[in-house]
């Protein structure tokens, strides 16, 4: 006859609080109120202060998930944030730590990746047919044939234990803020609290960060003495206004110079907040993490850690089982025995590892039924509590440059203080052992030293008392199998198999088996992995070493990292008008520009036959002043500038030192020592930095002041045969072509606005004026132009029409008709590049390119069938079928009524009149003829009217 | 996330700066051989240790800085304005 | 030649537009403890000169600090915005006069200097209130503690990923920051601040001026 009670199936409401104990001294639940929630669709209740899993455990539930690979039932293990068996879906939020997340009214909690149900998961068959999921299965299974990869992916996806994000899930609110505390204390246990208080009392501002929902660490589940101490420390923290306490928050990492990301939950109105702290000193005080024991059946629901029992009983007043076996190697295990007895749990057997007693295996199917002891006895129990030792979670120390060393006497890794940087200190259990007084005394000294190192007290270095480690038996594995990594379903056998296959370094084993790579990030698994590997390879743990502890300390949501989005958007002053007039927006870098106003071809025709205006405000503009500007221009542009007279503008191209075309634009000379340079819209920032680079690092003796004025001017290009007529109605500048000729600049008044710069240039190939007006008046001038030109049929045109107009004229666009390898002579700049200048940036490479004369050329292209518009980036084939070039620009020309293009083409095929084959993306070939790049008005007569 | 001690602005996070590259002298374009010129363009010493680099404080003083940085530890032992040679001590 | 009186506009759209000093400004008036105002109509003049010479002495302000002086009869705020770079703020419409006064002031130095009216090229907002540092800490990595950045501090850094001059200019003992940046991202900057300040009760108020 079984000694265990038969589980009853009853209605959920009956089962709420079925395993709830009478009030406990340290409990964190509010029994006066209840919270209703659903678990896999069934209504349950708990109390405020309950975690999801403590409420379910109080109702008698024991299974919370199915494991990753084998779909084994899993229950409580640690009853903390790390608990691998308690990851659940809450509403549309996946991967919630069920043993950490506080219950809230109306929560819809579901188990993840169980089908058809948590109780009857068909994939549990994997446990029987595990050959498919052998050690290193990623590497063995999914190699060949490649055609099956998509199928593998589908199969794998169904096994992955992650939850689901519904496509219609509401976006969360993720905040970000910067902070500059003198001291960040990672961990709010007794040591962390004491260190924070001491640092604050020494004058430091402190951020005290605790992963759990309350400060206190292990004091919270202790006896009356610990609870009294807890109250005292909490009062001390509360009394220090310089301490900012963040609970339900984790220090994610420690980066260079104490850049410390902290992810905080539980801020009202916000899902998560990423605090980017820059701390003077980091005090690492995370305490110790209890380590699971490796033995056959160690993942059965009912096999738990001693700290889990202590939390459940003392914090949540939950009876964790009915009949228990306790494997204890330390005082925490002994205390768990006391907790169980006080909770009315029958303690069937205490197995004391310190006397050489042991546990061999746990048996059961969906939960623990029998514990097999080392002496062969079999004890019926529904609870097996293990207390076999501690892992020092040293991540933050490792990230600080420390290399913790294994201390066999204490069976754990301890920091090597000689390798810690000045601005990082450690306190509490991660350093050593002791009673609360010893921990607090040590942490108090650490806190004072932290304040001193942060520059907050002028005292001499604080003498930090020693905190030695206590002896603890080395107890990792019973040698009977069992799981090493519960999250990733990695067994001890997987580790030994990996070692036998030659993966005998711990870093290789980690990658081959994926041990330590799950959500607990090694804090439960690393040391056991190392211990099992050490045993398999006949080495010591110290010789085997550990894997690298990388950021982050805990998994971080993408929302927290993305946070509030900081993506600058730039608008021209005329944007409100564009929006009112149906402009289709084009995102060009940070700029939002009109692509067209509904009819790009009509816009082209308006410019060719009448007049159009385009907002070109994003054009980069640099104000250059000083006596050495001409020297600067001569150095940066491939053409000559010292000959440019006042009142003239000139087109220039800049190359980099490798001769590759970088940017282009016109620059005008407004006065003796005053120039206005324009750049491409996308190159504005780059060119400014480039100019400053040459001025500051190569020619600091030159007297030149550079000021970016891109948006100081709103820029409008007025283009078309009637542009002079239109502009003449609004300006006092003399537009007579005899006095204001092509490639000249004037300043004056436009539409009542003084201080405008007008240059007569012709990117579109038509008579045109680019008018730069003080930006605050940009909208005014634009509206005046539209009104004044109504009888002329003035039309606004967008970027698309401009692209067509310039293509008809064969003007290359840097970055479209050139790429990162296009040197000057491949960009149609033969007439511009002045190789006889003494120096300019990129000169040697261009000289050599000219001498080789083998480079591709920029050519015009016309498909023989003028109705075919080859997509840009279509390849051009040589006679042997090889790639000879590509189409860089391609459009239907409204002016010519046929398709035209520009192309980068091999030297041999670049002669005008050559027929080439263009291969379209759909595989068809079309024939095109190489032409001059200039398709419309090759003489430029329309510009010079 | 490391801090770079700008001589003008004080310590600022590295994201405010653009890493320009190792400081390398420009050969005379009139006499440079292709080998010399391409060494200047493409061949970096990339030492494991102290390196003299140029950084641009694009989100701060907008000055080009000469920085002596240890590439392994990120320790920075000297920063000066590339044009004026100004150090933090000399900055007003 | 036809003309209509030109009205200058800020890049930041006003909630209740009205025209003042030739600029379209926001007529909204808020008396809340935490406000954001568009100060773009202020004249903004850039001065360039050697960072530590006669020009600096003439201006009386070094890099990183601010000063309020009288310039040609106008009260102006001078901020040491960069090494050898000053930002001079004055009343709306005084840009040209400020350029003239500054050029006259600097003419005697014998140094290579330039003075440029950037009124139309920049956006300028004022964030004011005791909670202003809390708002800024959402978008700016600079330590805003009194000990690090006291009243009268001028610095340039990234604010919501836009390079911005941050000038601490407390008024009547109340924390106040002028944020000055490139014009076309002005609306974005204002929106970013309003979003960062939503939890703290940040409200928009109309143009206030230098006072």
pLDDT at A124: 57
Q: Considering only the beta carbons, identify the residue of A175, A626, A752 that sits closest to C6.
A: A752
pLDDT digits (tens, 9 = 90+) for A250-259: 999 999 999 9
Q: What's the mean per-residue pLDDT of chain B?
A: 94
pLDDT over 90, % of chain A: 84
Q: Is residue A430 part of a domain?
A: yes
> What domains sit in chain C, N to C, each tagged with a CATH number?
20-41+121-205 (3.30.1360.120), 43-119 (3.30.70.1400)
Same domain, A406 and A273: yes
Task: Tell me, yes or no, if C184 comes closer than 8 A to chain A by beta carbon.
Answer: yes
Residues 5-44 of B with CB under 8 A from A: 11, 13, 18, 20, 26, 29-30, 32, 34, 37, 40-41
In this structure, the dihedral spanned by the alpha carbons of residues C191, C194, C199 and C204, taken in order and rounded to 10 degrees, is -150
Q: Is the pLDDT of residue C198 over 70?
A: yes
What CATH number did the domain enclosing A409 receive?
3.50.50.60
pLDDT tens digit sequence for A322-352: 999 999 999 999 999 999 999 999 999 999 9
Evaluate if residue C177 carries a pLDDT over 50.
yes
Residue A482 lies in a domain: yes
Q: Which of A259, A698, A839 lies nearest to residue B1, judging by beta carbons? A: A259
Selected for mutation to probe chain C from A178, A206, A628 (highest C CB count within 10 Å) is: A178
Q: What is the pLDDT of residues A175-223, one digit of tens each?
A: 999 999 999 999 999 999 999 999 999 999 999 999 999 999 999 999 9
Separation in Å, CA of B41 to nearest CA in chain C: 30
The confidence score (pLDDT) of residue A936 equals 95
Contact present, B14 and B1 (Cβ < 8 Å):
yes
Contact list, B60 vs chain C (CB under 8 Å): 155-157
Closest-CA distance, C123 to chain A, in angstroms, reads: 10
Banded pLDDT at C1 (limits 50, 70, 90): very low
Report if pTM > 0.90: yes
According to the model, what pLDDT value does residue C2 have?
44
The total domain count for chain A is 3
From 3.30.2270.10, 1.10.10.10, 3.40.190.10, 3.30.43.10, which CATH number describes the B3-81 domain?
Answer: 3.30.2270.10
Whether residue C161 and residue A569 make contact (CB cut-off 8 A), yes or no, is: no
% of chain A surpassing 70 pLDDT: 93
For residue A1, what pLDDT is reported? 42
Residues C113/C74, Cβ–Cβ less than 8 Å? no
Asked if A255 reaches chain B (Cβ–Cβ under 8 Å), the answer is yes
- Asked, for residue A94, whether it belongs to a domain, the answer is no
Domain assignment present for residue A238? The answer is yes
The alpha carbon of residue A805 is apart from the nearest alpha carbon of chain C, in Å, by 27
Q: Which of A542, A558, A574 is the last residue of a domain?
A: A558
Band (pLDDT 50/70/90 cuts) for residue C78 is very high
Q: State the pLDDT at residue A141.
A: 59
Option in A564, A566, A776 nearest C120 (CB):
A776
- Answer yes or no: is pLDDT of A128 > 50: no
Q: Does C4 score more than 70 pLDDT?
A: no
- Taking the C-alpha atoms of residue A178 and residue A158, their distance in angstroms, rounded to an integer, is 40
Q: Which residues contact A371 (CB under 8 A, 6 or more apart)?
A: A325, A349, A359, A361, A362, A363, A378, A379, A380, A381, A384
At A129, the pLDDT band (50, 70, 90 cuts) reads very low
The last residue of one of the domains, among A510, A543, A558, is A558
Q: What SS3 class is residue A73?
A: strand
Smallest Cβ distance to C112: which of A177, A626, A777?
A626
SS3 labels along A369-387: EEEEECCCCEEECCEEEEE
| pLDDT tens digits along A809-828 | 999 999 999 999 999 999 99
Task: Considering only the beta carbons, identify the residue of C3, C121, C137 that sits closest to A177.
Answer: C137
Which chain B residue has the Cα nearest residue A838? B30
Residue A778 lies in a domain: no
Nearest to C6 among A180, A623, A780 (CB): A780
CB contact under 8 A, C156 and B81: no
Q: Which residue has the tokens 């079309």?
A: A926
Q: Across the interface, which of B16, B62, B81 has its CB nearest the CB of C158?
A: B16
Q: Tell me what pLDDT residue A154 has.
A: 66
Per-domain residue ranges for chain B?
Answer: 3-81
Secondary structure in 3-state letters for A812-841: CCCCCCCCCCCEHHHCCCCCCCCCCCCCCC
Provide the token pair at A574. Answer: 């005329």
Q: Does C195 touch chain A (CB under 8 A)?
A: yes
Which of A656, A697, A847 has the highest number of chain B CBs within 10 A, making it the mutation to test binding with B? A697
Mean pLDDT over each residue of chain A, to the nearest integer: 93
Kindly list the partner chains of chain C, i.e. chains with 3 or more CB atom pairs below 8 Å.
A, B
Choose one of A499, A524, A558: the last residue of a domain.
A558
pLDDT of A117 strictly over 80: no
- Candidate from A104-113, A157-166, A891-900 with smallest mean pLDDT: A157-166
B62 inside 8 A of chain A by CB = yes
Residue A115 has pLDDT above 70, yes or no: no
pLDDT band (50, 70, 90) for residue A8: very low
pLDDT at residue A71, rounded to an integer: 83
Q: What CATH number corresponds to the domain at position A895?
A: 2.40.30.110
Is A658 in Cβ contact with B1 (below 8 Å)? no
Question: By 3-state DSSP, what share of chain A in percent is helix, strand and coil, each rounded to 5?
Answer: 30, 25, 45
Is the pLDDT confidence value at A125 over 60? no
Instruction: Please indicate if any CB of chain A lies within 8 Å of the CB of C5.
Output: yes
Spatial contact of A428 and A441, defined as CB atoms under 8 Å apart: no
What is the pLDDT, as a whole number, of residue A13?
53
Would you say residue A437 has pLDDT above 60? Answer: yes
A530 plus A424 within the same structural domain: no
Contacts of A700 in chain B (CB under 8 A): 82-84
Do A279 and A195 lie in a common domain?
Answer: yes
A338 in any annotated domain: no
Residues spanned by the domain of A870: 853-945
A482 and A408 housed in the same domain: no
Q: How far apart are CA A137 and CA A159, in angstroms?
A: 13
B64 and A844 within 8 Å at the Cβ level: the answer is no
Strand A183-186 to A206-209 pairing: parallel
Spatial separation of the C-alpha atoms in residues C141 and C164, rounded to whole Å: 12
Starting from the edge strand earliest in sequence, which strands make up the sheet with A323-328, in order? A303-305, A383-387, A323-328, A346-352
Q: Give average pLDDT by consecutive 10-residue segment, chain B, 92 residues.
A: 93 96 93 96 95 97 97 93 91 73
Of the candidates A270, A570, A626, which has its C-beta nearest C184's C-beta?
A570
Neighbours of A297 (CB within 10 A): 23
Segments of A236-358 assigned E as strands: 243-246, 249-251, 259-264, 272-278, 281-284, 289-290, 303-305, 323-328, 346-352
The rounded distance, in Å, linking the Cα atoms of A47 and C206 is 49
CB-based contact A767:A712 (threshold 8 Å):
no
Phi and psi angles of residue A910, each rounded to the nearest 5 degrees, phi first? -85, 0
For residue A10, is pLDDT > 60? no
pLDDT over threshold 60, residue A478: yes
Q: Is residue A413 part of a domain?
A: yes
Shared domain for A865 and A934, answered yes or no, is yes
Query: Is C120 part of the contact surface with chain A (CB cutoff 8 Å)?
Result: yes
Please name the residue of chain A whose CA is at the shortest distance from the CA of residue B83.
Answer: A696
| Chain B residues lying within 8 Å of C155, measured CB to CB | 9, 60
CA distance C164 to chain A (A): 12
Q: Is residue A764 part of a domain?
A: no
pLDDT band at C72 (very low <50, low <70, confident <90, very high): confident
Tell me what pLDDT residue B89 has: 85
């Amino acid at each position: 006859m079984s000694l265990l009670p038969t589980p009853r199936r009853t209605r959920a409401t009956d089962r709420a609080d079925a395993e709830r104990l009478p009030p406990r001294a340290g409990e964190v639940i509010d029994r006066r109120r209840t919270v209703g929630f659903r678990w896999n669709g069934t209504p349950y209740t708990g109390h405020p202060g309950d975690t999801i899993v403590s409420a379910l455990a109080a109702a008698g539930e024991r299974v919370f998930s199915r494991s990753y690979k084998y779909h084994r039932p899993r229950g409580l293990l640690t009853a903390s944030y790390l608990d691998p068996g308690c990851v659940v879906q809450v509403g549309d939020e996946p991967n919630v730590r069920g043993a950490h997340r506080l219950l809230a009214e109306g929560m819809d909690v579901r188990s993840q990746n169980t089908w058809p149900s948590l109780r009857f998961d068909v994939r549990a068959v994997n446990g029987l047919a595990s050959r498919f999921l052998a050690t290193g299965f990623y590497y063995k299974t999914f190699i060949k044939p490649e055609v099956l990869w998509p199928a593998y992916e589908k199969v794998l996806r169904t096994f992955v234990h992650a939850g689901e994000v519904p496509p219609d899930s509401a976006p969360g609110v993720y905040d970000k803020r910067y902070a500059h505390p003198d001291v960040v204390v990672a961990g709010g246990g007794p040591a962390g609290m004491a260190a924070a208080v001491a640092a604050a009392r020494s004058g430091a501002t402190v951020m005290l960060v605790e992963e759990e929902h309350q400060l206190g660490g292990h004091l919270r589940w202790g006896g009356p003495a610990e609870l009294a101490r807890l109250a005292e420390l909490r009062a001390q923290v509360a009394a220090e206004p310089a301490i900012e306490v963040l609970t339900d928050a984790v220090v994610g990492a420690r980066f260079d110079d104490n850049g410390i990301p902290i992810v905080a939950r539980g801020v009202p109105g916000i899902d998560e907040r990423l605090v980017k702290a820059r701390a003077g000193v980091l005090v690492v005080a995370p305490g110790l993490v209890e380590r699971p024991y490796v033995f056959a059946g160690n993942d059965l629901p009912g096999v738990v850690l001693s700290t889990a029992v202590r939390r459940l009983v003392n914090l949540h007043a939950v009876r964790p089982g009915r009949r228990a076996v306790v494997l204890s190697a330390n005082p925490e295990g002994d205390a768990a025995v006391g907790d169980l007895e006080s909770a009315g749990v029958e303690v069937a057997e205490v197995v004391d590892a310190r006397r050489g007693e042991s546990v061999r295996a746990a048996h059961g199917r969906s939960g623990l039924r029998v514990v097999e002891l080392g002496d062969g006895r079999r004890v019926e129990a529904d609870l097996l509590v293990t207390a076999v030792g501690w892992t020092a979670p040293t991540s933050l120390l490792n990230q600080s440059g420390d290399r913790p060393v294994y201390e066999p006497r204490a069976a754990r890794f301890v920091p090597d203080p000689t390798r810690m940087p000045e601005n990082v200190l450690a306190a509490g259990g991660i350093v050593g052992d002791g009673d609360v007084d010893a921990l607090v005394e040590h942490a108090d000294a650490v806190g004072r030293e932290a304040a001193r190192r942060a520059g907050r007290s002028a005292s001499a270095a604080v003498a930090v008392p020693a905190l030695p480690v206590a002896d603890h038996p080395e107890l990792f594995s019973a040698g009977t199998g069992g799981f090493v990594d519960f999250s990733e379903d990695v067994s001890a056998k997987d580790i030994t198999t990996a070692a036998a296959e030659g993966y005998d370094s711990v870093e290789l084993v980690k990658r081959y088996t994926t041990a330590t790579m799950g959500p607990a990030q090694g804090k439960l698994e690393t040391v056991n992995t190392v211990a099992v590997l050490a045993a398999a390879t006949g080495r010591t743990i110290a010789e085997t070493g550990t894997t690298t502890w990388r950021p982050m300390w805990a998994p971080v949501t993408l929302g927290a990292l993305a946070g509030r989005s900081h993506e600058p958007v730039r608008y021209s002053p005329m944007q409100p008008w564009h929006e009112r007039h149906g402009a289709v927006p084009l995102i060009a870098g940070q700029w939002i520009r009109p692509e067209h106003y509904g009819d790009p071809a009509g816009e082209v025709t308006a410019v060719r036959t009448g007049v159009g205006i385009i907002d070109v405000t994003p054009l980069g503009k640099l104000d250059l002043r000083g006596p050495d500007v001409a020297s600067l221009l001569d150095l940066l542009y491939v053409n000559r500038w010292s000959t440019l007279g006042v009142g003239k503008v000139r087109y220039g191209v800049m190359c980099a030192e490798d001769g590759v075309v970088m940017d282009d634009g016109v620059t005008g000379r407004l006065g003796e020592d005053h120039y206005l340079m324009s750049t491409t819209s996308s190159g504005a920032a780059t060119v400014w930095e480039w100019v400053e680079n040459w001025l500051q690092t190569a020619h600091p003796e030159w007297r030149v002041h550079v000021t970016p004025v891109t948006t100081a001017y709103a820029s409008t290009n007025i283009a078309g045969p009637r542009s002079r007529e239109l502009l003449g109605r609004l300006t006092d500048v003399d537009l007579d072509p005899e006095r204001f000729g092509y490639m000249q600049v004037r300043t004056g008044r436009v539409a009542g606005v003084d201080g405008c710069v007008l240059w007569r240039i012709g990117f579109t190939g038509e008579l045109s004026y680019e008018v730069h007006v003080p930006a605050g008046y940009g909208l005014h001038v634009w509206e005046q132009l539209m009104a004044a030109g109504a009888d002329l049929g003035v039309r606004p045109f967008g970027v698309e029409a401009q692209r067509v107009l310039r293509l008809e004229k064969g003007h290359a666009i840097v970055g479209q008709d050139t790429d990162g390898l296009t040197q000057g002579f491949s960009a149609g700049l033969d007439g511009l590049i002045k190789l006889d200048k003494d120096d300019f940036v990129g000169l040697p490479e261009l000289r050599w390119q000219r001498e080789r004369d083998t480079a591709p050329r920029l050519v015009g292209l016309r498909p023989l069938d003028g109705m075919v518009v080859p997509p840009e980036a279509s390849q051009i084939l040589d006679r042997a079928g090889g790639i000879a070039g590509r189409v860089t620009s391609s459009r239907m020309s409204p002016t010519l009524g046929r398709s035209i293009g520009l192309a980068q083409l091999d030297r041999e095929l670049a002669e005008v009149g050559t027929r080439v084959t263009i291969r379209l993306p759909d595989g068809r070939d079309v024939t095109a003829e190489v032409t001059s790049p200039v398709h419309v008005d090759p003489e430029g007569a329309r510009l010079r009217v | 996330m490391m801090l770079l001690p700008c001589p003008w602005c004080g310590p600022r996070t590295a994201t405010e700066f653009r890493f320009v590259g190792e400081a390398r002298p420009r050969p005379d374009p009139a006499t440079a051989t292709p080998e010399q010129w391409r060494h200047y363009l493409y061949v970096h010493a990339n030492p494991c240790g102290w390196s003299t680099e140029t950084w641009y404080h694009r989100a701060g003083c907008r000055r080009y800085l000469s920085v002596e940085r240890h590439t392994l530890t990120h320790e920075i032992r000297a920063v000066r304005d590339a044009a004026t040679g100004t150090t933090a001590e000399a900055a007003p | 030649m036809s003309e209509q009186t030109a009205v200058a506009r800020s890049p930041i759209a006003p909630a209740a537009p009205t025209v003042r000093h030739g600029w379209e400004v926001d007529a909204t008036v808020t008396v809340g403890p935490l406000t954001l105002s568009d100060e773009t109509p202020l004249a903004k003049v850039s001065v360039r000169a050697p960072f530590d010479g006669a020009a600096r002495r003439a201006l009386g302000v070094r890099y990183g600090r601010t000063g309020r002086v009288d310039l040609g009869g106008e009260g102006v705020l001078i901020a040491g915005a960069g090494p050898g770079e000053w930002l001079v703020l004055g009343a709306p419409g005084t840009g040209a006069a400020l350029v003239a006064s500054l050029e006259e002031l600097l003419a005697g130095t014998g140094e290579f200097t330039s003075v440029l009216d950037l009124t139309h090229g920049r956006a300028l907002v004022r964030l004011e209130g005791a909670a202003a540092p809390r708002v800024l800490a959402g978008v700016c990595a600079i330590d805003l503690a009194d000990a690090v950045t006291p009243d009268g501090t001028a610095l340039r850094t990234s604010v919501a990923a836009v390079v911005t001059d941050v000038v601490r200019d407390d008024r009547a003992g109340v924390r106040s920051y002028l944020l000055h940046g490139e014009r076309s991202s002005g609306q974005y900057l204002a929106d970013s601040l309003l979003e960062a300040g939503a939890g703290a009760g940040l409200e928009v108020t109309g143009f206030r001026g230098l006072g």
